[in-house]
Structure 1
Amino acid sequence: MTLSPLKRRLVYVTVFEIIAIISSTYILMMLSGSDAAESLPAAVMVSLAAVIWNFLYNTAFEAWERRKQVTKRTLLIRSVHAFVFEGGLVLICLPIYMIWYDVGLIKAFMLEAALLLFFLVYTFVFTLGFDKIFTLPHHYKTASAP
């Protein structure tokens, strides 16, 4: 199934975040010893923070690329992009966990580390599946063909 770029992004983020919230709720329940009524709002807050951070960070990153006239995203650029994004997200999420669960920095970091590991695998698997179901528009395929 092929979608326009905007619809593809909207479907991607919506489905991704719904599954992410459900999964995060369960993981937070297991790690914090809380129930769904306590962990679901935390998962929603973190999901919302991640979506907002993703939008702001990538907007700033792409503006930096334009200013620096970057024409190719090298492995180094992509690696720095990923590490800075994740580092920023950790800094955003730690206070959420500390306040919501009334825990210290170490426990909040353990919650975030577990979710970070989950999301590394989940994002990869989800994106592979998404790309199989929602193929790129035809003009993308022909534009990159040798």
Structure 2
Amino acid sequence: MLMSKKRWIHALSYEGILLLIMTLVLSYMFEMPVELTGSLGLAMAIISVFWNMLYNNLFEKLEGYLKLQRGIWVRILHAIGFEGGLLFISVPLIAYSLKLDFLNALLLDISITLCILVYTFIFQWCFDVIERKYSLGQT
């Protein structure tokens, strides 16, 4: 198996819970059907995964070509490039799906990203507690 059972549980529960929260919150905020906000959330999750693979592949090639050392500045550039590229892709999708102008879609996307940062911290903390309690291990 390429990924451990723990990694699968982690990834699927992280994305599933995030998708559920995002779907319900956006549906409530914009008074839109959960089918629409859920589809938007799913599309953004899929785009994020593919962007992650593409961006990291290209970044690693550039990193090798320029013989960069993975220090703090390279990591900062990597993060800015990744998030900037993802914003470039997701803002038009949000604007179209939720019928927002560009500025409001950008502000919403930045807000979602900041909320995901908090969600990620809380999720990881809870996952660590559950993992210790139930010994999910690496199987």
- Tell me the alpha carbon deviations over residues 34-81 of structure 1, each in whole angstroms, 9 at most, x when there is no partner: 13122111111111111111111112222223333345x211111111
SS in 2 for 1:97: helix
Q: Does the 8 Å contact 2:23/2:38 carry over to 1?
A: yes
CA contact (8 A) 1:27 1:115 kept: no
One-letter identity of the residue aligned with 1:35 = P
TM-score by length of 1: 0.75
The corresponding residue for 1:64 is 62
SS at match of 2:3: helix
Q: 1:37 corresponds to which residue?
A: 35
What's the TM-score once normalised by structure 2's chain length?
0.78
Residue 116 (structure 2) aligns with: 119
Letter in 2 for 1:63: K
Residue ranges of structure 2 left out of the alignment (5+ in a row): none
Sequence identity of aligned pairs in percent?
27
Any gaps of 5 or more consecutive residues in structure 1?
Answer: 137-146
Give the alignment partner of residue 101 of structure 1, picking from 84, 98, 103: 98
Q: Which amino acid aligns with 1:127?
A: Q
> Residue 46 of structure 1 corresponds to which residue in structure 2?
44
Higher relative contact order at CA 8 Å, sep ≥6: structure 1 or structure 2?
Answer: 1
Once the two structures are superposed, what CA deviation does each residue of 1:57-114 show, in whole Å capped at 9, x if it has no partner? Answer: 112222223333345x211111111111111111111111121122211221232122
The letter for the 1-side match of 2:54 is: L
Matched residue type, 1:91: F
Total equivalences in the alignment: 133
CA RMSD of aligned residues (A): 2.5
